[in-house]
């Protein structure tokens, strides 16, 4: 047996194996700040399932860790390298293998970008609804591995609800096919569901069969402006408790409104404490449905309501929401120049009846510690993203940011929520996952991990903290 790299070169084309240190440095981490990243031994860029399997077999023979990566748009450190690992970049597996309009399914490789699948489905009069904020760059493999959500989740649900089957390379290099292509199917354990959200710790996904829907009907979009974030939260609770089902119900606080307007001016109300972005995609019924939602917004204390005049204006408002993260990155960079500005992105989901308690609690935590925290998120399904701004060069700022992060996580759990609604666990939330699941839940998680990856080579240290 030669070295790991020599054995890789014996089973893969030479251009698949990257050892250049500058290239490796660019693939050490995802977009999460405050998460450790190691130095990989090499990066492999496979082009098909067979090459992924060959890579894993070599890694298993040498006992070398394997860290799968997609577009590295994650916010929890799940794609971060560990020292001496093989980073497996799946962006080369980027083909849409099939779209079947009759069965309303698509079969794709993991490196397909979310937006590419959505556009391809639209040509067939179909829709792939999951739409994370990074939809123009994040890949389906990464979306599945983290069970990503997005702005449409309030009506259409998260990624896992659309995954029917998959092909997975296991820790010994064997190839598993699980799931189905049929509308119904309950044969055996739900192995497909097991791999959804597993963040590369149980296997490497190399093919995914997803469910498609008929394209949505025409939509109407409305903005509701509020003098307090709590009032916006009350509107969300009122809308959902009344049984209304918008296709989008997003909240942006003043910090985000100002950051977005500074990043790309579009006339957002920067004096408002909060704004709700609401849409209904029910065609001929959209105006009536939106009117009922508007009444809930008024009763909660909206100071202004505005319905987009046309699809172009509606798209501009939706695009503004998608700019939230890059706008906050620029805000942090301007607040702490010289590469010092960092963001710690929380991902708390609570029962929708507790939205007001969450947003008021986050405001209190922010004020008490003197740390800037902007709140944005998918209010319609109780999933908010408090975004904490820190100075990465100042240990006291970083420590304060961590304290604020932890207090927000604790608040979310105390309100009956969860430590992650859509971003996953990665490195950032391992301890909070353990608190949420408890000792029995963690024992079951460790047993599953040990059964599928007994040597612990697949994305080690992610999701489950080492013993």
Number of Cβ within 10 Å of residue 369's Cβ equals: 15
Please tell me the predicted confidence (pLDDT) of residue 182.
94
Picking from 89, 120, 146, the residue at the C-terminal end of a domain is 89
Please tell me the predicted confidence (pLDDT) of residue 325.
94
> Is 254 domain-assigned?
yes
DSSP 424-452: --TTTTHHHHHHHHHHHHHHHHHHHHHHH
The tally of domains found in the chain comes to 3
Picking from 179, 214, 249, the residue at the C-terminal end of a domain is 214
Same domain, 131 and 77: no
Dist. CA 77–CA 262, nearest whole Å? 28
> Which letter does DSSP use for residue 289 in this model?
H
| Residue found by looking up tokens 């009069």 in the block | 125
CATH of the domain at 142: 3.30.465.10
Number of Cβ within 10 Å of residue 204's Cβ equals: 29
> Is 456 domain-assigned?
no
- Which phi and psi (to 5°) does residue 369 adopt? -100, -5
Same domain, 404 and 344: yes
Dist. CA 334–CA 199, nearest whole Å? 33
Same domain, 69 and 208: no
For residue 382, give both structure tokens: 């109780």
For residue 272, give both structure tokens: 């408002």
Please tell me the predicted confidence (pLDDT) of residue 1.
67
- Is residue 341 a contact partner of residue 332, using CB atoms and an 8 Å limit? yes
> Is 437 domain-assigned?
no
What is the signed CA dihedral for 283, 121, 104, 159, rounded to 10 degrees? Answer: -90
- Which phi and psi (to 5°) does residue 100 adopt? -110, 100
> Is 85 domain-assigned?
yes
For residue 168, give both structure tokens: 């997975």
Of the candidates 112, 155, 106, the one whose C-alpha atom is nearest the C-alpha of residue 127 is: 106
- Partners of residue 390 on adjacent β-strands: 342
CA dist 367 → 159, 257, 261, 303 (Å)? 35, 19, 23, 25
Same domain, 126 and 74: no
Same domain, 46 and 103: no
Distance between start and end Cα atoms, the chain: 31
> Is 421 domain-assigned?
no
- Is residue 65 a contact partner of residue 40, using CB atoms and an 8 Å limit? no
CATH of the domain at 31: 3.30.43.10
Same domain, 244 and 380: yes
- Is residue 109 a contact partner of residue 207, using CB atoms and an 8 Å limit? yes
Dist. CA 458–CA 168, nearest whole Å? 12
Same domain, 140 and 40: no
pTM greater than 0.85: yes
Distant-in-sequence, close-in-space partners of 208: CB < 8 Å, separation ≥ 6 = 107, 108, 109, 110, 140, 141, 144, 163, 165, 166, 167
> Is 112 domain-assigned?
yes
- Is residue 151 a contact partner of residue 378, using CB atoms and an 8 Å limit? yes
Q: In a structure prediction context, what are the per-residue pLDDT tens digits for the chain, which is 467 residues long?
A: 689 999 999 999 999 999 999 999 999 999 999 999 999 999 999 999 999 999 999 999 999 999 999 999 999 999 999 999 999 999 999 999 999 999 999 999 999 999 999 999 999 999 999 999 888 999 999 999 999 999 989 999 999 999 999 999 999 999 999 999 999 999 999 999 999 999 999 999 999 999 999 998 989 999 999 999 999 999 999 999 999 999 999 999 999 999 999 999 988 889 999 999 999 999 999 999 999 999 999 999 999 999 998 888 888 889 889 999 999 999 999 999 999 999 999 999 999 999 999 999 999 999 999 999 999 999 999 999 999 999 999 999 999 999 999 999 999 999 999 999 999 999 999 999 999 999 999 999 999 999 999 999 999 999 998 87
Same domain, 248 and 376: yes
- Which phi and psi (to 5°) does residue 375 adopt? -120, 130
Q: Give me Rg for the CA atoms of the chain.
A: 22
Please tell me the predicted confidence (pLDDT) of residue 135.
87
Same domain, 317 and 205: no
Task: Give the β-pairing of 248-253 and 373-378.
Answer: antiparallel
Same domain, 228 and 252: yes
CATH of the domain at 275: 3.40.462.10
Picking from 153, 187, 214, the residue at the C-terminal end of a domain is 214
Same domain, 280 and 341: yes
Same domain, 233 and 362: yes
Q: Which secondary-structure segment (H or E) carries 276?
A: strand 274-280
> Is 148 domain-assigned?
yes
Q: Which domain holds residue 55?
A: 4-89
> Is 402 domain-assigned?
yes
């Amino acid at each position: 047996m030669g070295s790991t790299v020599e054995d890789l070169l014996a089973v893969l084309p030479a251009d698949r194996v990257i050892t250049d240190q500058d290239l490796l440095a660019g693939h050490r981490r995802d977009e999460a700040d405050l998460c450790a990243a190691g130095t990989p031994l090499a990066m492999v860029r496979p082009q098909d399932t067979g090459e992924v399997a060959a890579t894993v077999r070599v890694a298993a023979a040498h006992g070398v860790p394997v860290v799968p990566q997609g577009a590295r748009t994650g916010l929890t450190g799940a794609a971060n390298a560990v020292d001496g690992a093989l980073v497996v970049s799946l962006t080369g597996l980027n083909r849409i293998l099939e779209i079947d309009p009759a069965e309303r399914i698509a079969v794709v490789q993991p490196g397909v970008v979310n937006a590419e699948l959505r556009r391809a489905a639209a040509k067939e009069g179909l829709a792939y609804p999951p739409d994370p904020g990074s939809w123009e760059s994040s890949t389906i493999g990464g979306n599945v591995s983290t069970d990503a959500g997005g702005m449409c989740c309030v009506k259409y649900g998260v990624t896992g609800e659309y995954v029917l089957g998959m092909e997975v390379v296991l820790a010994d290099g064997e190839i598993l096919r699980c799931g189905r292509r049929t509308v119904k199917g309950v044969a055996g354990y739900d192995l497909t569901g097991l791999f959804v959200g597993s963040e590369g710790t149980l296997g490497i996904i190399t093919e995914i069969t997803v469910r498609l829907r008929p394209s949505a009907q025409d939509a109407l979009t409305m903005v509701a402006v509020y003098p307090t974030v709590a009032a916006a939260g009350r509107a969300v609770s009122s809308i959902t408790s009344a049984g209304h089902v918008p296709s989008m119900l997003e909240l942006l606080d003043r910090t985000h409104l100002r950051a977005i307007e500074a990043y790309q001016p579009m006339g957002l109300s920067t004096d408002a404490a909060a704004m709700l972005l609401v849409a209904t995609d029910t065609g001929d019924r959209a105006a009536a449905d939106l009117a009922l939602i508007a009444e809930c917004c008024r009763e909660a204390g909206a100071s202004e309501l505005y319905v987009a005049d046309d699809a172009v204006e509606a798209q501009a408002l939706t695009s503004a929401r998608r700019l939230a993260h890059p706008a906050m990155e620029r805000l942090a960079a301007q607040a702490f120049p010289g590469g010092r500005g960092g963001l710690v992105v929380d991902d708390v989901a609570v029962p929708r009846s507790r939205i007001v308690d969450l947003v008021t609690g986050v405001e209190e935590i922010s004020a008490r510690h003197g740390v800037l925290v902007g709140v944005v998120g998918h209010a319609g399904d109780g999933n908010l993203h408090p975004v904490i701004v820190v100075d990465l060069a100042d240990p006291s700022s970083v420590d304060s940011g961590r304290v604020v992060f932890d207090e927000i996580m604790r608040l979310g759990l105390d309100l009956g929520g969860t430590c992650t609604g859509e971003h996953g666990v990665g490195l950032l939330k391992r301890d909070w996952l353990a608190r949420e699941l408890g000792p029995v839940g963690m024992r079951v998680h460790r047993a599953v991990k040990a059964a599928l990856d007994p040597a612990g080579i697949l994305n080690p240290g992610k999701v489950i903290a080492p013993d």
